[in-house]
Amino acid sequence: MNFKSLNLWKNSKLSRTDKWFMVALSIIIIIGLIAQFSVAQGRFFSKQLLFALLGIPVFYLGYTLPTEILKKICWFVYGVAILLLLIVLVKGTSALGAQRWLSIGGFSLQPSEAAKIACIMALANWLKEHKATSILSIISTGCIILLLPFALIFIQPDLGTSMVLIAIFLAMCYWAGASFTQIIALISPLIILISSALGEKAFILSSFKFHKHLIQLDCSILGIICILLLVIYFANHYKVWKKNTKILLLSLYFVFCSFLAVVGRPLAWGILAPYQQKRLTIFIDPYTDPQGSGYNIIQSLIAVGSGGLHGAGFKQGRLTQGQFVPEQHTDFVFSSIAEEWGFIGVAVLLIAFLIICIRLLILAKDLEDGFAQLLIIGILTFLCFHVCVNIGMNIGLMPVTGVPLPLISYGGTSMWITLFSLGITQRIYADNSPNSLFNR
């Protein structure tokens, strides 16, 4: 054994990665490769293996960038991401009704994936200098940094990634000083719009024709419930029975929310494509269209439920091997893992993700550098949102929005951006941890 080489490794920054983090990350990638070997008769395995191997230098690239360098290049990276999003609208390739990809050298790259880490870096830099302690500062930050990439991604259309950006933005603002009440006040209008569009009609107020289209103003039961919950929360938070100063402001806010509840269905539905409307509603009861838009969810539910405790075994899943679940290599890969490896396999995967998330949260809390903290929180939110929404899609708790399961779903851009982001977190860990991998 070359002891000199071993000492050089032990003294290098690369040896100071978080060992629990790295073990969990390796487990997730291995599970993803096994799943890709099983689904779709293994057609996507070789490419996914290539993506994973190329992901090693991508992870290392993220690891080589200290926070000081990231601060200097964040606006350049943000600008490049915006440019790529503009190019994809003009020369992008289309698939499944969306124009999201750029073909470069035989690979299809998805600029919206790169936009996530670009926005995280830009927000971290901005929020370090401009604390989000008021509604106005939060809104201005969103308009300055998030509005343009959000709009460019939304019109591709890519509803899932748009929602990821909102989640990242709100989490980073909260960490930068925004209160929970301010976050609730900001997202309430969106919740009201969605709940009014999805909920059953309580009553119809009026209807009229606009450009030969019948516009119906109504209020849903779900919308009414959301407004009542908001009234209770804000009234209790501000103790309106003791203080009269904010009653007028709160009253105007609830009038605005009530207006959104009434116009929610035509307003929210008007900006969505028909397939997006169907995706947002079919998960509530997929059996209303079992052979159409509800088919994917129903087959995924059957696959997940048939896994039991131990699963059917590797390449033994009836629905997986029969390819009864569409898009099982991407959006619905979790259903294959559940069917063939059962509760135990799913538990291993979720524990691995949980370890990564806990280690990142602990790291963020221990850091003193505000920029590094916000970077970690943004990456953590990005990872958690993807995991929760994708698994929710597979078990019928979330609408199908095309959000991939990180490092598991097929796709090079998604894997590389995730590994690059996680590489950044490990460089931050190495720069702030006095203990090496061998001493912990």
Q: Is residue 3 part of a domain?
A: no
Q: Is residue 11 part of a domain?
A: no
Beta strands in 213-341 (DSSP E): 213-220
Taking the C-alpha atoms of residue 57 and residue 79, their distance in angstroms, rounded to an integer, is: 24
Q: Is residue 395 part of a domain?
A: yes
Among 101, 154, 164, 57, residue whose Cα is nearest residue 383: 164
Q: Is residue 2 part of a domain?
A: no
Taking the C-alpha atoms of residue 402 and residue 366, their distance in angstroms, rounded to an integer, is: 34
Q: What is the pLDDT of residues 306-320, one digit of tens each?
A: 999 999 999 999 999
Q: Is residue 4 part of a domain?
A: no
Token pair of 158, please? Answer: 């890519």
Q: What is the pLDDT of residues 39-59, one digit of tens each?
A: 988 899 999 999 999 999 999
Q: Is residue 7 part of a domain?
A: no
The model's pTM: 0.88
The alpha carbon of residue 354 and the mean position of all alpha carbons in its chain are separated, in whole angstroms, by 15
Domain of residue 107, residue span: 16-439
| Cα angle 393, 42, 35; round to 5 | 45
Q: Is residue 355 part of a domain?
A: yes
Up-side HSE of residue 95: CA atoms within 13 Å toward CB? Answer: 10
> How many other C-beta atoms are found inside a 10 Å radius of the C-beta of residue 34?
19
**Average pLDDT of the chain?**
85
Banded pLDDT at 269 (limits 50, 70, 90)? low
Q: What is the pLDDT of residues 360-402, one digit of tens each?
A: 999 999 898 999 999 999 999 999 999 999 999 999 888 888 8
The count of structural domains within the chain is 1
Taking the C-alpha atoms of residue 34 and residue 367, their distance in angstroms, rounded to an integer, is: 36
User: Which residue has better confidence, 195 or 26?
Assistant: 26
Q: Is residue 6 part of a domain?
A: no
